[in-house]
A and B are shown apart, each in its own frame.
Chain A
Amino acid sequence: MNIAATSSFVLNRRHLLGIEGLSREEILGLLDLAEEFVELNRQIEKKRTSLRGRTQINLFFESSTRTQSSFELAGKRLGADVMNMAVNSSAMKKGETLIDTAMTLNAMHPDILVVRHHASGAVELLAQKVDGSVINAGDGAHEHPTQALLDALTIRRNKGRIEGLIVAICGDVLHSRVARSNIILLNALGANVRVVGPSTLLPSNVERLGVKVMRDMREGLQDADIVMMLRLQRERMNGSFVPSSQEYFAYFGLDQRKLAYAKKDALVMHPGPMNRGVEIDSSVADGAQSLIREQVEMGVAVRMAVLEALARNLPNA
């Protein structure tokens, strides 16, 4: 059965570069549209034709299995022709070379470019140079908007709401684009957001983003409805930011003991991939309170929603 989308939501902008700047209505519109795709994706027949004839290029300057395959599947299920381009970022220099790449691609008339880049702001720079739509699939430590949307969808489906929930975002906030996008989105929808981690992994003035800052997990998790763990990159572990994985896990890793400080029905999330035994204990990651696998499922639906909502606004749509 081919379910037709009932939502007529249109994202009235050419690109999705971040959550910042999206209105509450736009966010909710995307989430509602994504709900429909969740249902579609659970059918045997998953294909739609709304992107038929469109070309989607996944331009990944930084490797990512999860996000790239999620976008690829989303594009294909909507009928787009999807091409994956992995660009060795070390062979590239920023600035002109990035623009050169953009111009080269632009000459091939893609309709949608899904871009991941290791430098904050690179996706926005590229968006200025191309004619089609650009979706930010993660730029440096800046934003990862589809991750925030899929997190919000996961929360809403499990809690029935986002407003008023206490969400603790824990760990390496400093390097996390996921954290930034989530903070902006969850605030826009009325959640109470906390960030929890060692000061070395918290950006300066992060409280100005409208979050409570806590440095102790027990305090930070107290009465939380949602515990969102972040990945600690292993190269950040020794010496520079935290002393060792052993100490990090002891004070900031999520295990059952720390989770007990959160509400009884608290739910655990992680954008993946996880470092088990570093930021999260296996018993929690695989436990009854974990939404981690559901997040992956929601990822495809959210990306379909974003692609479709942008495509509805493309020329000749």
Chain B
Amino acid sequence: MLSDRRPILLANARIVDPSRDLDFPGDVLMADGVIREAKRGISAAGVPAGTEIVDCKGHIVAPGLIDIRAFVGEPGAEYRETLATASQAAAAGGVTTIICQPDTTPAIDDPAIVDFILRRARDTAIVHVQTMAALTKNFEGQEMTEIGLLKAAGAVAFTDGARSVTNAQVMRRTLTYAHDFDALVVHHTEDPDLVGEGVMNEGEFATRLGLHGIPTAAEAIMLERDMRLVALTGCRYHAASITCRQSLEILQRAKENGLPVTASASINHLTLNQIDIGSYRTFFKVTPPLRAEEDRFALVDAVSSGLIDVIMSDHNPQDVETKRLPFAEAAPGAIGLETMLAAGLRLVNNHGVRLTTLLGAMSSKPAELLGLPGGTLRNGAPADVIVIDPDISWVLDPSDLKSKCKNTPFDEARLEGRVVRTIVAGRTAYEYAST
């Protein structure tokens, strides 16, 4: 297999390596699936025979993105997405590693299913695939899963996906047990009782639309509880999707107190707000709901300051059957693997977020969090690399998307910058052909 992989030299690039906070002009040489060198002045003469030489024309070269929250329909909902189609969407978006969520049918709560995912991905996916496993059996929030055996089978973290463990005793014991195995617990912090029948952010806009609201407290209360349990157990904990200022304050305090806590925000919550729902547009129905603009601004600041560690796509394909419904009845979720980076560049272009910070939150930080080898351009690291042309201005046409479902909130959005090449393990998995 390795013999058909030609070495690649990405010449004349702007190298951005968030793992070392580097941003400099140079060249990157990859061979045998790893990065050989990333430095200034690797000449074409000094590379192995047969090397494919790519003139990057000053475009950005960065580590491939690692998306820690993608719902893939396989097994059980292949009509929505398969590992194959998700991986094609990922490659087109610069994501070289997808971390699957365990809410599949059957749930990924058994070591044999972890094994199935990893084997299936090896056979069908064009990017790396890792998976989280369920935190409690069948996501019922009652019995913890076989955390030790699941981790041994390859699960990189444990989560009940978009569900919260409401029973504090179960959560405490699970965190206690997970801590023994140095397992990372990823928790969706949304109190289902406070969510109630809510379908969008609680406030004036929900009132005007006549939709039931979800208070930010639904998230903050659950997060606050979890912080107390983390203090009690010492378990490594990751808040799956932070969306509001209140939660950021709790997170800040927890980090200042030295708790082993990290957090993600989705690209949707960082770039969209509740007003985008407009006239009941169900592509903007996500969970937790899109919040007020002031919450979004607070989230963006938190990315800049590093309080929010990771940006994730929250990729959740839904077909027309589940989206073309009255807002309250439509399924929540938006696809995002292909648009995460392009949408994220809005934070750089419009909000002054540093490019290394943005790319770090999508590559080196998740790698560090999950103990994965990518997310860096260091010598010897996996040759998972992307080339970004920051100047391409484009309008998203859903029919161009690789994902099986087209429920993107960036439908016809004007985007600035895009991935033009994605290299996975030293092989080109995607190349943008401008027409």
Instruction: Give bound CA distance, A22 to B167, whole Å.
Output: 42
Q: Which residues of B contact A200 (CB under 8 A)?
A: 173, 176-177
Q: Which residues of B contact A244 (CB under 8 A)?
A: 146
A251 within 8 A of B: yes
Residue of A nearest to B180 (CB): A215
A187 within 8 A of B: no
Given the known A-B contacts A198-B180, A199-B179, A199-B180, are A241 and B148 also in contact in the complex, defined by CB atoms under 8 Å? no
B230 within 8 A of A: no
Chain A proximity mask over B178-205: 1 for CB below 8 Å, otherwise 0: 0110000000000000000000000000
Q: Are B149 and A240 in contact (CB under 8 A)?
A: no
Binds A, one of B4-12, B123-131, B136-144, B243-251: B136-144
Instruction: Give bound CA distance, A199 to B144, whole Å.
Output: 14
Instruction: Give bound CA distance, A242 to B145, whole Å.
Output: 8
B147 within 8 A of A: yes
Q: Which residues of B contact A250 (CB under 8 A)?
A: 148-149
**Distance to closest chain A CB from B185 (angstroms):** 14
**Interface set, chain A 241-261, CB cutoff 8 A to B:** 241-244, 246-247, 250-251
Q: Which residues of A contact B149 (CB under 8 A)?
A: 243, 246-247, 250
Q: Are B143 and A240 in contact (CB under 8 A)?
A: yes
Instruction: State how many residues of chain B have any CB contact under 8 Å with chain A.
Output: 17
Instruction: Give bound CA distance, A50 to B374, whole Å.
Output: 77
Q: Which residues of B contact A215 (CB under 8 A)?
A: 180
Q: Are A247 and B146 in contact (CB under 8 A)?
A: yes
Centre residue among B136, B144, B147 by max chain A CB count within 10 A: B144
A239 within 8 A of B: yes
A6 within 8 A of B: no
Instruction: Give bound CA distance, A65 to B165, whole Å.
Output: 40
**Distance to closest chain B CB from A247 (angstroms):** 4
Q: Which residues of B contact A246 (CB under 8 A)?
A: 146, 149
**Distance to closest chain A CB from B394 (angstroms):** 48
Q: Are B143 and A243 in contact (CB under 8 A)?
A: yes
Instruction: Give bound CA distance, A239 to B147, whole Å.
Output: 11
Q: Which residues of A contact B145 (CB under 8 A)?
A: 243
Q: A198-B180, A240-B170, A243-B149 known; 17 other A-B pairs, CB under 8 Å?
A: A198-B176, A199-B176, A199-B233, A200-B176, A238-B143, A239-B136, A239-B137, A239-B143, A240-B173, A241-B173, A242-B177, A243-B145, A243-B146, A243-B147, A243-B177, A246-B146, A246-B149
Binding site for A on B (CB under 8 A): 136-137, 142-149, 170, 173, 176-177, 179-180, 233
Question: Which 4 residue pairs of A and B lie closest in terms of their CB atoms, listed nearest first?
Answer: A239-B143, A247-B146, A243-B146, A199-B176
